């Protein structure tokens, strides 16, 4: 069995580390120091680094890790990276032999234009696209692109475990409750997230099922959310555009 551990970094990032039989893979190492510490403490060799997008808090640790471990780096083909890497795009298969895992690359533009997610064996590493009860900001892409990307993730099997890169769940739930104050699943999730955070535990991974039940950005066809979005249109993509804008001001 592969073990998956969140390594906290910066204010609210998680660097997800997967390991099995002494071999490890990290996703989006924005900082090398805590990763190297964890690898040394657990006598792990770093085989590979998966990158979802080009923001510094996801890649700034790569060079330092490569100075210590000759790891293979996988990064989106549609973005530019100064470190050596294998460029991945839609449907690329990333095979991690020592972990006995294969991930399929999904292009999910919106937060950045080249953003990718890695999906396989019921795991989803989605970077800054989907968050617990929320979604990433639109730094480069259009609302239409992000909406479409989120719809693709929403269509994955319900039991898929969702590994996001930031601990934003509590704040996202606060916002979601302003749109859907009577959503019982959301009320329950608010309580469980509060308990997890009060014990300094991550609220992640989530699941696609839980996101479908509580994440307003995946629920743009729900009447209450349409009405809370104050758009005249009932087109889900227009509702998405409106509530993403509201979240920016929240």
Q: Which residues bind Zn ion (CB under 5 A)?
A: 55, 128
Q: Nearest approach, Cβ of 17 to Zn ion (angstroms)?
A: 19
Q: Nearest approach, Cβ of 111 to Zn ion (angstroms)?
A: 6
Of 56 and 157, which has the nearer Cβ to Zn ion? 56
Of 79 and 128, which has the nearer Cβ to Zn ion? 128
Q: Nearest approach, Cβ of 53 to Zn ion (angstroms)?
A: 6
Of 47 and 128, which has the nearer Cβ to Zn ion? 128
Of 6 and 98, which has the nearer Cβ to Zn ion? 6
Q: Nearest approach, Cβ of 165 to Zn ion (angstroms)?
A: 7
Q: Nearest approach, Cβ of 36 to Zn ion (angstroms)?
A: 22
Q: How many CA atoms lie within 13 A of 9 on its CB side?
A: 29
Of 23 and 53, which has the nearer Cβ to Zn ion? 53
What residue is closest to Zn ion based on CB?
Answer: 55
């Amino acid at each position: 069995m592969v073990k998956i551990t969140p390594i906290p970094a910066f204010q609210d990032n998680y660097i997800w580390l997967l390991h099995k039989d002494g071999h490890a893979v990290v996703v989006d190492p924005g900082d090398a120091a805590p990763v190297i510490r964890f690898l040394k403490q657990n006598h792990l060799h770093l085989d590979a680094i998966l990158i979802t997008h080009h923001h510094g808090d996801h890649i700034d640790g790569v060079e330092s890790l490569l100075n210590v471990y000759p790891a293979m780096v996988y990064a989106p083909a549609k973005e530019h990276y100064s470190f050596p890497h294998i460029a991945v795009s839609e449907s690329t298969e990333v095979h991690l032999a020592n972990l006995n895992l294969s991930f399929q690359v999904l292009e999910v533009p919106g937060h950045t234009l080249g953003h990718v997610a890695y999906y396989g064996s019921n795991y989803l590493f989605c970077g800054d696209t989907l968050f617990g009860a929320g979604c990433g900001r639109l730094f480069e892409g259009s609302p239409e692109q992000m909406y479409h990307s989120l719809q693709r993730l929403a269509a994955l099997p319900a039991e898929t475990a969702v590994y996001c890169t930031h601990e934003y769940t509590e704040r996202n739930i606060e916002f979601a409750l302003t749109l859907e104050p009577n959503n019982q699943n959301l009320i329950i999730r608010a309580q469980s997230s509060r308990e997890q955070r009060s014990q300094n535990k991550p609220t992640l991974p989530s699941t696609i099922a839980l996101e479908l039940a509580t994440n307003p950005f995946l629920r743009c066809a729900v009447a209450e959310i349409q009405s809370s979005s104050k758009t005249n249109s009932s087109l889900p993509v227009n509702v998405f555009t409106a509530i993403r804008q509201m979240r920016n001001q929240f």
